[in-house]
Amino acid sequence: MKNEKNIFKRKDGSIFYLIVFVILFVVLIARAFVGEKTDVGLVQNPEAATVKAPIELSFSDVLRRSGEIKTMEIKKGDMAVGKLKDGTPYKATIAYNPELLERFSKSGTAVSIDNTDSFMDSVAKWLPIVVGALFLFWLLRLMRGGGNGGITRSLIGQNPTKITTGKTKTTFKDVAGIDTEKQELMEVVDFLKNKEKFKALGARVPRGILLSGEPGTGKTLLARAVAGEANVPFFATSGSDFSGIIVGLGVAKIKEIFELAKRNAPCILFIDEIDAIGQSRSKHSFNDNDREQTLNQLLIEMDGFSNATGIIVIAATNRPDMLDNALLRPGRFDRQIHIDFPNLDGRRDILDLHAKKFKIDEKVNMMDVARGTTGFSGADLENLLNEAALHAVRSNHKSIEQSDIEEARDKILMGPKKNQKMRPEDIKLTAYHEAGHAFVSMHYADVTDPIHKATIIPRGRALGMVQHLPIDNKVSMTFDEVRANLSVSLAGRASEEIFFGENKITTGAESDIASATRIARYAITTAGLSKKIGMVAINQANTFGQKMALENASEKTAQIVDDEIRSWLDVAYKDAKNLVAKNKSTVEKIAKQLLERETLTGDEIREIVFGKKKTVVKKSSRKTNAKK
């Protein structure tokens, strides 16, 4: 409703012209309506009932009855009205001809010509011309920069920048999990607070900072925190705001926002999704000249202001590889900061930060939550707690419990629970499938991540899963870990074959096979763990979804890679089958417990396998989900 109230307070003249056009439309409708009433000749009151309606005469009737016509008034050249000698009014359409008029005059007809326009006709003729002239005057005035914002503001309807101040907004205390990135930006804060310290040493603070990273990692939040820490104005816009249907509009907007920043320096100018206007220029991009002109203007503005102005440009993008090289050179975006997904400690800090906004039970272990959210961004973690809060409300809990967070995490990773009824044989096969994953994971507990839980509750496309939680940060895998993870991934299919036979295996191992193939291909073609291939990087190229040959490899090498991947998976599958076959009774115990209880914790599975609870301590780990 706010916009509806303010629409009549605009000073660019657009409301005035809207009203004029509405009046023009009403006038044209009224003209047609009035003309229609005149032609019909209806009786308006009883006193006028004796007045005869005019009769319609054709041109031939007028010529034939010329001696009977008493008066004739010609309007606009072809319309004739008048009365016959017996007093009957008439109207007719004639062909205007001076000789014809002379013939009527000789027969005793009083002929008159009226070429004047009615009021409605005059309005309909001149009003469009006047309105068009006023519109052109308004447009030219805006192009000269009038109207408090010029054509940029008037045609778009609003100023594209959003101004906030750093006094009451986000600070570095509101940003967690990216301590290294915050340290990189502290120099900018120090410069905005104390420029003289930098000038004394002759240091030049970066004019522009490019923040890159996956969505939700905190790029915009970090930019706001810089402005908040420095206590300076914050101007925010996005790359898409500089594009429009009017050619040259982007250039005008770039000029406007930089002029606004200069008037309020020192300040932070933030451009989100800068790849919308900063894509690399190409000699083949003939149809995108307007975007290139906008980019050129941005390059000029960033290179035009001096370092003493105090304007720091911060931009964010998910695709830094798409940006033009001229935009990334020193003097424009001097510093590039990549914000990665938070590690284990970072996730714990982010969870603790967001937990302040929720009512969480004291028994909730945030470190366990952090361990189970590998690959989550800061936004994902906030959403996790919000989903947990919603589940707690639905469950009538007084606070968010561990079970609420578990349910929220499973929902985000796997999807909501399925309510469809499954066949008993499918449920049984799923239980043995997951039991195979769980047992082989326990067998390789010294090199794989500890099991968090196993469940046969269907979610999304998965009928069940075995979930692992890392206990520390890991940046790589050993050869033994790769082999063990391959066996764990294929253990579900191995269990199906051992307990139900070769003819009863199902398609449920689809995601397991895909995961194992991905790990094996990475280890062989990128990590150099294959003796046959050696330490050669052979990257798989999949451009625009098309399957292409292996890069840096001949057809013979590509065939060797395929054979080696198949060999690794065959060895892993054989290993998993042997382990399940030798321990059928233990695997069957796990499966029966899953059928009875649907979900087993890691400690419960350890007790079944080892006969008692066993604490596993490992030096390195990685999260692996074995899904059916």
Mark whether 73 is an active-site residue: no
Of 429, 416, 516, nearest to 461 (Cα)? 416
Domain assignment present for residue 24? The answer is no
Per-residue pLDDT for 246 more than 60? no
Per-residue pLDDT for 12 more than 70? no
Which amino acid makes up residue 509? A
User: Which residues are paired to 626 by β-bridges?
Assistant: 466
Domain assignment present for residue 418? The answer is no
Domain assignment present for residue 428? The answer is yes
Which amino acid makes up residue 300? I
CB atoms < 10 A from the CB of 33, how many? Answer: 10
Give 81-136 pLDDT, tens digit per residue. 777 777 788 777 776 667 777 777 777 777 777 666 666 666 666 767 777 777 77
Residues 266 and 169 in one domain: yes
Domain assignment present for residue 126? The answer is no
Domain with residue 479: its CATH number is 1.20.58.760
Residues 252 and 318 in one domain: yes
Domain assignment present for residue 8? The answer is no
Residues 350 and 430 in one domain: no
Give 480-514 pLDDT, tens digit per residue. 999 999 999 999 999 999 999 888 888 888 989 99
The last residue of one of the domains, among 116, 137, 168, is 116
Identify the pLDDT of residue 481. Answer: 92
Residues 532 and 619 in one domain: yes
CA dihedral 57, 58, 60, 64 (to 10 degrees): 0
Per-residue pLDDT for 423 more than 70? yes
Residues 509 and 361 in one domain: no
Domain assignment present for residue 576? The answer is yes
Position of tokens 């309909």?
A: 124
Residues 316 and 396 in one domain: no
Residues 305 and 381 in one domain: no
Residues 557 and 587 in one domain: yes
pTM summary value: 0.65
**Do 266 and 310 touch, CB atoms closer than 8 A?**
yes
Domain with residue 381: its CATH number is 1.10.8.60
Is 626 exposed, middle or buried (CB count within 10 Å of its CB: 0-12, 13-18, 19+)? buried
Active-site pick, 434, 481, 497, 564: 434
Indicate the pLDDT class of residue 592, thresholds 50, 70 and 90.
very high
Give the containing element (helix H, strand E) for 601. Answer: strand 599-601
3-state secondary structure 130-176: HHHHHHHHHHHHHHCCHHHHHHHHHHHCCCCCEEEECCCCCCHHHCC
Domain span at residue 59 reads 41-116
Residues 322 and 186 in one domain: yes
d(C-alpha 464, C-alpha 452), whole Å: 14
| Structural domain count, the chain | 4
Residues 323 and 215 in one domain: yes
Residues 482 and 551 in one domain: yes
Domain with residue 48: its CATH number is 3.30.720.210
- Give the DSSP letter string of 64-116: HTGGGB-EEEEETTTEEEEEBTTS-EEEEE----HHHHHHHHHTT-EEEEE-P
Per-residue pLDDT for 433 more than 70? yes
Residues 505 and 377 in one domain: no
Domain assignment present for residue 34? The answer is no
Domain with residue 198: its CATH number is 3.40.50.300
